[in-house]
Structure 1
Amino acid sequence: MTEKNIEKKTETVTVDQFIARPPERVWAALTQPDLLGRWWAPSDIRPEVGHRFHLQMPTWGPQPAEVLEVREPELLVYTFADWTLTWRLVAEGRGTRLILEHSGFDLDDPQHRFAFDNMGPGWRDAVLPRLAQLLESD
Structure 2
Amino acid sequence: MTSIAPETRTVVVEREIAHPPEKLWRALTQPHLIEEWLMKNDFKPVVGHGFQLRGEWGGVLDCEVLTVEPNKTLSYTWNYAHADAAYNLQSVVTFTLTPTSTGTHLRMEQSGFNPDQKQAYGGAHAGWKQFFANLDQLLERLD
TM-score in same-fold range (> 0.5) = yes
**Partner AA of 2:119 in structure 1:** F
- 1:96 partner SS: strand
In the alignment, structure 2 segments of 5+ residues that lack a partner are 80-89
Report the CA distance between 1:14 and its aligned residue.
0.2
Report the CA distance between 1:60 and its aligned residue.
4.5
Between the aligned partners of 1:16 and 1:83, the Cα distance in structure 2 is: 18
> How many residue pairs align between the two structures?
132
Does the aligned pair in 2 maintain the 1:41–1:56 contact within 8 Å? yes
Corresponding residue number in structure 2 for 1:122:
127
Corresponding residue number in structure 2 for 1:134:
138
Between the aligned partners of 1:43 and 1:29, the Cα distance in structure 2 is: 13
4+ long deviations beyond 6 Å: none
Does the aligned pair in 1 maintain the 2:91–2:111 contact within 8 Å? yes
**Per-residue CA shift, 1:89-133, capped at 9, x if unaligned?**
11112311110001100022xxx3211012112212x11122012
Normalised by the length of structure 1, the TM-score is 0.90
In the alignment, structure 1 segments of 5+ residues that lack a partner are none
Normalised by the length of structure 2, the TM-score is 0.87
Between the aligned partners of 1:119 and 1:104, the Cα distance in structure 2 is: 11
Does the aligned pair in 2 maintain the 1:18–1:96 contact within 8 Å? yes
